[in-house]
C-alpha cells in the first residue's frame, strides 16, 4: 500500500506543529524522528530552510548545522505573512484600505480599538507617518464605511 500523500503545505504545517510542541530548538534529524522517521533528512531540512526564509521559524547555529524553533505565538507567523504581503506592494495605502474594507464589522472595530485605544476620533500619533492619505479621512473606494 502506497503512503498517503499530504495536502499542499501539509508537511510544512506538520513540521511547524512538531517545533511548537518541542521543548526547545530541534535539529532536522530530531524533527524527522518526531514525524515518524520515514521522510528523508534532506526533505525535512529543505522544508525547514524554506520556512526560515519565509520567517515562519527561527534557527540558531548548532555544530555544523542549525536547530530550529517555532515562533512564540502562531499569530506572530500570520503577522509576518501580512507584513511580507504589504511590503510586496508599492501602494501600501491602497492595500490597507482594501484590507479594512474586507473586514467584518467586529474585526474592523477590534482593529480600530487596537490602533486608537483612546477613542475613534483621536489618532495615536497625531498624523499620518508617510504622507499617505488617512483611510478614515473619507469614504472607502466602494463607498462602505
Q: Could you report the per-residue pLDDT of 14-25, keeping only the tens digit for each?
A: 999 999 998 899
Shared-domain flag, residues 28 and 59: yes
Q: Residue 106 domain-assigned?
A: yes
Same-domain pairing of 58 and 109: no
Residue 84: inside a domain? no
Worst-scoring range by mean pLDDT, 11-15, 44-48, 75-79?
Answer: 75-79
Q: Which residues form the domain of 33? A: 10-69
* Residue at 80 is within a domain: no
Q: What is the dihedral of CA 55, 17, 64, 53, to 10 degrees?
A: -20
* pLDDT at 125 (0 to 100): 42
Which residue in this structure is represented by grid cell 555544530?
63
Mean pLDDT of the chain: 80
Residue 25 belongs to a domain with what CATH number?
1.10.10.10
Same domain, residue pair 14 and 51: yes
Mean pLDDT score, 83-97:
91
Q: pLDDT-derived band of residue 135, with 50, 70 and 90 as boundaries?
A: very low
d(CA 107, CA 99): 11
In a domain, 102, yes or no: yes
50 and 17 part of one domain: yes
Is residue 1 a part of any domain in this protein? no
Q: Is residue 79 part of a domain?
A: no
Domain for residue 125, yes or no?
yes
Beta bridge partners of 61: 66
pLDDT at 76 over 50: yes
Residue 60's CB: how many other CB atoms inside 10 A?
A: 9
Q: Do 21 and 63 share a structural domain?
A: yes
CA 53 to chain centre: 12
Q: Residue 136: is its pLDDT beyond 70?
A: no
Given a contact cutoff of 8 angstroms between Cβ atoms, the answer to whether 66 and 27 are in contact is: yes
CA distances in angstroms from 26 to 15, 66, 79, 104, 142, listed in the order given: 11, 8, 23, 39, 48
Domain count, the chain: 2
Total-model pTM: 0.56
Average pLDDT, integer, range 55-83:
87
Amino acid at each position: 500500500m502506497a503512503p498517503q500523500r499530504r495536502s499542499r503545505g501539509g508537511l510544512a504545517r506538520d513540521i511547524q506543529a512538531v517545533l511548537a510542541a518541542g521543548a526547545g530548538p530541534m535539529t532536522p534529524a530530531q524533527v524527522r524522528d518526531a514525524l515518524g522517521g520515514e521522510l528523508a533528512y534532506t526533505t525535512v531540512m529543505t522544508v525547514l530552510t524554506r520556512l526560515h526564509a519565509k520567517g515562519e521559524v527561527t534557527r540558531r547555529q548548532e555544530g555544523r548545522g542549525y536547530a530550529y524553533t517555532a515562533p512564540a505565538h502562531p499569530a506572530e507567523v500570520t503577522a509576518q505573512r501580512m507584513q511580507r504581503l504589504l511590503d510586496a506592494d508599492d501602494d501600501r495605502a491602497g492595500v490597507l484600505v482594501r484590507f479594512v474594507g474586507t473586514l467584518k464589522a467586529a474585526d474592523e472595530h477590534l482593529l480600530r480599538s487596537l490602533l486608537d485605544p483612546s477613542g475613534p476620533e483621536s489618532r495615536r500619533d497625531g498624523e499620518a507617518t508617510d504622507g499617505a492619505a488617512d483611510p478614515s479621512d473619507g469614504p472607502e473606494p466602494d463607498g462602505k464605511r
